[in-house]
Amino acid sequence: MILWGEHDPLIPVAHAYSAHQRMAGSRLEIFPNAGHFPYRNDPLRFVKVLVDFIQSTAPARVDEQRWRERLRHGSRPS
């Protein structure tokens, strides 16, 4: 779940589209009249989108060994 304000002055919205494109299975929600904190500009929509995501998405499986390797060596474990 990627939530982004269209008018984010710190991290341009283009980064949201790029991240979404690179994360298979991700979901992107752009808040049109929001800046860096979309939950402040539209709290009701933010909660609605977040609750829907939680209810409609299966939790990710976590492989502790894989994460340990990634944390030690970066995204490409040796």
Tell me the mean pLDDT in the region 5-28. 96
Q: What is the pLDDT confidence band of residue 76, given thresholds at 50, 70 and 90?
A: low
Write out the two tokens for 29: 């929600």
Q: How do residues 34-68 score in pLDDT, each as one tens digit?
A: 999 999 999 999 999 999 999 999 888 888 998 88
The span from the CA of 28 to the CA of 44, in Å, is 17
Prediction pTM value: 0.75
13: which residues sit within 8 A by CB, 6+ positions away? 4, 5, 6, 7, 30
